[in-house]
Structure 1
Amino acid sequence: MTSVYSGTAVVPGIGVGPAVRPAPRPTAPEDETAGDPSATTVAFGSAAAEVARRLRARAESAGGAASEVLATTASLAEDRGLATFVTKHATAGSGPATATTKAIEELATMFTAAGGLMAERVTDLYDVRDRIVAELLRLPEPGIPEPDEPSVLLADDLAPADTAGLDPTRIVAIATELGGSTSHTAIIARQLGIPCVVAVTDLKDVPAGEKVAVDGTAGTVTVDPDEAQVAALVEEDRRTREAAAGWTGPGRTADGHPVQILANVQDGAGARVAAEQPIEGVGLFRTELLFLERTTEPSVDEQADLYAAVFEAMGDKKVIVRTLDAGSDKPLAFATQPDEPNPALGVRGLRIGLADPGMLDRQLDGIAAASERTGADVRVMAPMVTTEAEAQWFAERVRARGLQAGIMIETPSTVLLADRLFRHLDFVSIGTNDLSQYTFAADRMAPTLSDLTDPWQPALLASIKLVAQAGQRAGKPVGVCGEAAAHPLLAIVLTGLGVTSLSCAASAVRAVGSRLSQVTLEQCQAAAEAALAASDNITAAQAAQAALQQPPA
């Protein structure tokens, strides 16, 4: 009998095939021998180092967002706090696997209590636990099966190391019971172009082997679907993908209204991949990767080399660089504030620069040096800005180096102050991931709250409209570089709200650009107004789609 499960749509497209599930995770044996505490600590250290080495190797070959989350997960394996907890349990008489399990459980409890982005890392912690335990017990590394035929992956949740290694020709769709639209699973699935639905209630009831159809546009998982219906959906998806593959840019609506289509990158390799797409530049260059793996701050020259690799890949196209967005779930060994009660609301983003202006100045020096070396069209923006004074302070430092200055709009305060902020700035870019979390006071990783952090929420769309209108009054551009920019239907609504550029994963560029090219600006505005008038996220998406199906006035 056909059954339909609903969740949050995060990557559009259709995937059909038998369901597969991750292999069981290893557990510490109940009768594990304790042994000498120092030997236990050494065994843990060796296993953790090997796990970190493998994750970093995958990070180097993955590129894009997958590389960032893998590198961050690797740092968890070698976290000093984790090692301290393991030593404590080893001293109390636990063997290596048991001490590791208990230590991770303590950290997971702390992360959960912290909430926000720290709670988001609990899945990563458990993945690190399982990989270290497997290494200690000399078991195969846990992960995702490699099916012989195109299959649909179902899971409670997926760790970054699992998602980043997926083969899109074998795993044609993903559905998870946990996670949200900005979870690591969603972000990496989008980078890989795999249709994905998250926060699917009761997904655990679907057994492996059942034929499943995942609709990443509608947000549904259908078990034992009707063959004729599936055939129609697959054909429609084929036509959509064909149209996207043939789109060559530049970004504009059917009646010629320009909307820049940009890419999110984090290193030279990712920028070179993005440059193969019909983009008009980089809308979000994440600079964290160089910092996250370091115990000391990288030099200006080291930074300049990394930035130059991205600038060179883009040639004469613009690059918007985001300064260090660390803190919270991305701690720095040399800068993170210790023992913050709520890191998601603590010293992160620009606040690190405010606390240590020299670090920010050195990063700006590196960006300026790379810009001068390559002759690139570079603009710089700061994350986690909350006041006009902060925006002015940052802009003055950027302009002193001959560069254009902007900020991320990620907090309600910057939405309300948008007109005043534009007095000091050349542009802004809206980070919908954090803006939704802070607007709704909702942990974006909590599956029970995923409807609140869905970018279709009318209140979030209203905030975007306010900022876009402020940009129009100032005659300055307003971009979106959160995950919302990668959804083709939502990209239409954002354009209708007045957004001037959309920056997304390189894999989503053609789908977004192609869909925009099929509608007029008037249709975009009608879809936007329909979504704004809706009562919730689900009806907002439905209303936007219905508005597009109306004949032109």
Structure 2
Amino acid sequence: MIGIVVVSHSRALADAAVGLASEMVAADNRPVIAVAAGLDETTFGTDAAAVAEAIGAADGPDGVLVLLDLGSAVLSAEMALEFVDPETAQRVKLSSAPLVEGLVAAVVTASTGATLDAVLAEAAQGLAGKQDHLGDAAAAAPPREVAHADQHSMEVVLRIEHGLHARPAAKLVGVVGRFDAYVSVRNLMSERGPVDARSLSRVATLDAQKGHILEFIASGEHALDALRAIRELADRNFDEAPATGQSEAAPPDSPDPAVTRMSGSGLDVALGPAVVVADGVDLSGYRPGDMKTEWARAEQVVHTAGVQLAELQAATSARIGADEAAIFEAQAGLLRDHELISPVFQEVGEGIDAPTAWKHTFDALASTFDRLEDVYQRERAQDVRSVRDRVLRALTGSPEPAEPSPGSVLVVPELDAATAAVVDASVAGIAVRAAGTTGHGVIVARSRGIPLITGIGDVAVTDGATVGFDARTGSFVVEPDRQAFEVTIRERQGERDAALRAVDEPATTVDGRTIPVMVNVGSVQDARDARGADGSGLVRTEVLFGDRMTAPSVAEQAAAYREIAAALGGKPITIRTWDVGGDKPLRFLPQDVEANPFLGDRGIRTFRRRPELLATQLEAIREVAGETPVQVMFPMVTTAEEVAWALQQLGPRPEGLKVGIMVEVPAAALRIETLAVGLDFVSIGTNDLTQYTTAADRTNTAVAPLADGLDPAVLRLIDRVVRQVPLGVHVAVCGDLASDPLAATLLVGLGVQELSAVGPQVPLVKAKLRQISAVDAAMAAATALTLDSAAAVRQRLK
């Protein structure tokens, strides 16, 4: 990528121009921009030596483009070329382009990897958009001719409130620049164009407004890929804020009292006859017609499946909630993606029958998801296969999977969202062969309170065979000891009933120690559904705003935090700042693919590079903290220097705002006595602390059993934090261990002062703590620290 130098008489002018241009491309894809401006911060002038130094800073094998304002800036730049090495000087080109417009065009074009000559030419056309709009197009270069071989086209309706202005236009140019294809774009409404879609200045001449239809024509080796990427960008509204004026993060309306969100037993154990669902749809009985017939069938099934998904969306919204129903809108979007399904019709045109063509296309897309690094994105393959099977059933006339009878255990290869939404909640439970806990089907089933276990693998099960599972222990058994399972089910149901009856009582041990039991939330609805929680010990902001294409504003964030606090009755809430990376993506903050994402750019580390996103969040937190009890905590902290930086970013805090950090890294636990100085609290994230201590990725089924939070090595780190934390610093746990009633007693025994669990477990954790003595728990914890395995600890707790 080329480097860019800005030469100006005014430092303020240069910095402002660079700031504007930098907004047009992502930080991780931005060319080096060096500034040589002013004799100092306030004195106007240019200095050849400073220009030479800037050229050296921006220099690289691809060359350097120098943009200038006027007069002596040109002379200083020419003189600077005499100062630098002759070999370097040969790679430098001075541009007569307008400084601001040329710089914006140059930065965007350079970000695509264009050559120095191409960037120079694009910068020179920086005024083309204004010239065309104002009727002074004499200096504008004519558009490049569109190639006619192997052309592909599509139309896009603009939904952006202010049209294709600079930011979305820059996004478009960046997307097109990734492909070996020539793409032209024409505004069908204003009849402007076609222009080269790689040219920011030429795209600006289209006068593309909200509601206008753009026609893209592509040719070249990756033409279809380019069009598909443009379609995806348009479907994301060019990553712009919503045009309706309503916050994307706006909390849902108060739930209808008639909607039962948890309609299943809510247990983690099940027993019943198996209803086994086969993998895939049988195509052997399909009778193909001629090409015209198959084409018509392939088209008709888009409508048929779309209607089914719309009905599912409406039914799910009424029965469960709008968030879960949105899954089916996303699935329907796959059927509306013309670029995605175009290979179907291409294969049909080549004589392949419609079911096979649909299966080929969707299998290929699912395989693409399966290969992704990110766990959440990888599990989106389930949605693709769900839509595939819906289409194939419609084409072949195959019936929907049989409805399991009440009290049965549904055994499925994968749990798609449609099955999870429509299955009768009277089933005993669902057993999923595939591993993974973040699939849409798993999320929907759990929101309905249906007992669920994932990752049972290829265990042989026949229809009607009695099966039992205990998600608490991770066991799935064919023809189990029925009496033992029935006893376990009665015990668990009795526990839950008793816990719910006493849900609002404090968690006070028999010897008088009261432990606040908070709830972990990722949405306003989570807070509304929580029963008996003493507040929230963890507000997962990356989940709360995880579907956003653009970063939420201060006002949007503050509104969501207020909603959560109100749903919890004004009790304290602990807001964790953006925890991105590893298995936690933020759509408005793309990250580079990393070989070891859990060991890479995560949590607070990410925002050392993007402090502006953190600053906006901290402003919202400070605002809400002036109205309701709030704590803020920073994730993935490793060093005292990171703590100091975070506190500096937080700035002056309102009275009552408490500050803490997550303890998720062994290094943090081992230096807690210095790391937590000046803080109000620390919260131990046992999920990450466990995987880092055991060197076992908790999302990898091959090694996940090693990542057991009850491993004595993990417990010793927790014990060390409790014993070595500075005086007056409160210790909490918000990881999965706090959601396990037995493990919660052990944490209290270690001296942990607060627990934060997932919503459904809060009543059970509180009930368990009321049954124990803090002294006895301390003795049990001391013994656990001496044991040699998690299994031994678990046996000791039982």
Deviations 1:458-481 (A, max 9, x none): 22222222222233x432222222
Deviation, structure 1 residue 289: 4.1
Deviation, structure 1 residue 515: 1.0
Q: Is residue 360 of structure 2 the alignment partner of residue 98 of structure 1?
A: yes
Equivalent residues of 1:22, 1:143 under 8 A apart = no
2:518 alignment partner in structure 1: 262
1:495/1:33 CA distance change after superposition, 3 Å? farther
Q: Partners of 1:45 and 1:91 in 2: how far apart?
A: 19
1:460/1:78 CA distance change after superposition, 3 Å? farther
Which of residues 368, 372, 384 is equivalent to 1:128?
384
Deviation, structure 1 residue 367: 2.5
1:442/1:315 CA distance change after superposition, 3 Å? same
Deviations 1:210-235 (A, max 9, x none): 22233344443343344543443344
Equivalent residues of 1:51, 1:132 under 8 A apart = no
Q: Partners of 1:127 and 1:50 in 2: how far apart?
A: 15
Deviations 1:313-342 (A, max 9, x none): 223310011122233444334321234344
Letter in 1 for 2:491: E
Deviation, structure 1 residue 85: 8.1
SS at match of 2:533: coil
Structure 1 gap ranges (5+): 1-10, 546-553
Deviations 1:157-200 (A, max 9, x none): 54566557765x42333444453789888877766555555544
Q: Is residue 774 of structure 2 the alignment partner of residue 521 of structure 1?
A: yes
Deviations 1:353-392 (A, max 9, x none): 22111111111222233343xx210111122222222222
SS at match of 2:745: helix
2:275 alignment partner in structure 1: 20
Deviations 1:125-155 (A, max 9, x none): 2333332553477469999864331222334
Letter in 1 for 2:570: D
Deviation, structure 1 residue 309: 0.9
Deviations 1:36-85 (A, max 9, x none): 99xx99x999989997997899699857xx959x9799879979xx9988
Letter in 2 for 1:541: R
Q: Is residue 731 of structure 2 the alignment partner of residue 478 of structure 1?
A: yes
Is the deviation greater in 315-324 or in 244-253? 244-253
- Within a 5 Å distance, the mapping from 1:187-336 to structure 2 comes to 193-200=449-456, 204-247=459-502, 248-274=504-530, 277-336=531-590
SS at match of 2:548: coil
Q: Partners of 1:532 and 1:159 in 2: how far apart?
A: 42
1:76/1:127 CA distance change after superposition, 3 Å? closer
Q: Is residue 432 of structure 2 the alignment partner of residue 432 of structure 1?
A: no
2:645 alignment partner in structure 1: 393
1:449 alignment partner in structure 2: 703
Letter in 1 for 2:528: R
Q: Is residue 656 of structure 2 the alignment partner of residue 381 of structure 1?
A: no
Which of residues 478, 487, 508 is equivalent to 2:761?
508
SS at match of 1:15: strand
1:148 alignment partner in structure 2: 405
Q: Partners of 1:425 and 1:315 in 2: how far apart?
A: 26
CA RMSD of superposed structures (Å):
4.2
Q: Partners of 2:453 and 2:658 in 1: how far apart?
A: 38
Equivalent residues of 1:123, 1:159 under 8 A apart = no
1:170 alignment partner in structure 2: 426
**Greater fraction helix:** 1
Q: Partners of 2:289 and 2:617 in 1: how far apart?
A: 49
Deviation, structure 1 residue 88: 8.4
Letter in 2 for 1:148: S
Q: Is residue 632 of structure 2 the alignment partner of residue 370 of structure 1?
A: no
Letter in 1 for 2:669: V
Deviation, structure 1 residue 522: 2.0
Equivalent residues of 2:532, 2:762 under 8 A apart = yes
Letter in 2 for 1:463: L
Deviation, structure 1 residue 253: 1.6
Equivalent residues of 2:358, 2:392 under 8 A apart = yes
Aligned identity (percent) is: 34
1:88/1:213 CA distance change after superposition, 3 Å? closer
RCO comparison, higher one (Cα < 8 Å, 6+):
1
Equivalent residues of 1:312, 1:376 under 8 A apart = no
Equivalent residues of 1:23, 1:145 under 8 A apart = no
Deviation, structure 1 residue 102: 1.1
Q: Partners of 1:33 and 1:128 in 2: how far apart?
A: 27
Letter in 1 for 2:360: T
Letter in 2 for 1:385: V
Is the deviation greater in 181-190 or in 312-321? 181-190
Q: Partners of 2:783 and 2:716 in 1: how far apart?
A: 12
Structure 2 gap ranges (5+): 1-265
SS at match of 1:474: coil
1:124/1:432 CA distance change after superposition, 3 Å? farther
Q: What is the TM-score of this pair, normalised by structure 1?
A: 0.78
Deviation, structure 1 residue 537: 2.3
Is the deviation greater in 175-184 or in 436-445? 175-184
Q: Partners of 2:630 and 2:648 in 1: how far apart?
A: 16
1:345/1:219 CA distance change after superposition, 3 Å? closer
Deviation, structure 1 residue 262: 0.7
Q: Partners of 1:60 and 1:464 in 2: how far apart?
A: 44
SS at match of 1:129: helix
1:528/1:158 CA distance change after superposition, 3 Å? farther
SS at match of 1:463: helix
Q: Is residue 793 of structure 2 the alignment partner of residue 536 of structure 1?
A: no
SS at match of 2:550: coil
Is the deviation greater in 475-484 or in 152-161? 152-161
Q: What is the TM-score of this pair, normalised by structure 2?
A: 0.56
Q: Is residue 369 of structure 2 the alignment partner of residue 107 of structure 1?
A: yes
Equivalent residues of 2:660, 2:683 under 8 A apart = yes
Q: Partners of 1:385 and 1:141 in 2: how far apart?
A: 54
Deviation, structure 1 residue 281: 0.4
Deviation, structure 1 residue 529: 3.0
Number of residue pairs matched by the alignment? 516
Equivalent residues of 2:742, 2:768 under 8 A apart = yes
Q: Partners of 2:422 and 2:718 in 1: how far apart?
A: 34
Equivalent residues of 1:336, 1:347 under 8 A apart = no
1:279/1:156 CA distance change after superposition, 3 Å? same
Is the deviation greater in 174-183 or in 46-55? 46-55
1:299/1:237 CA distance change after superposition, 3 Å? closer
Deviation, structure 1 residue 447: 2.3
Q: Which runs of 4+ in 1 moved over 6 A?
A: 27-37, 43-57, 70-79, 82-94, 139-144, 180-190
Q: Partners of 1:48 and 1:383 in 2: how far apart?
A: 41
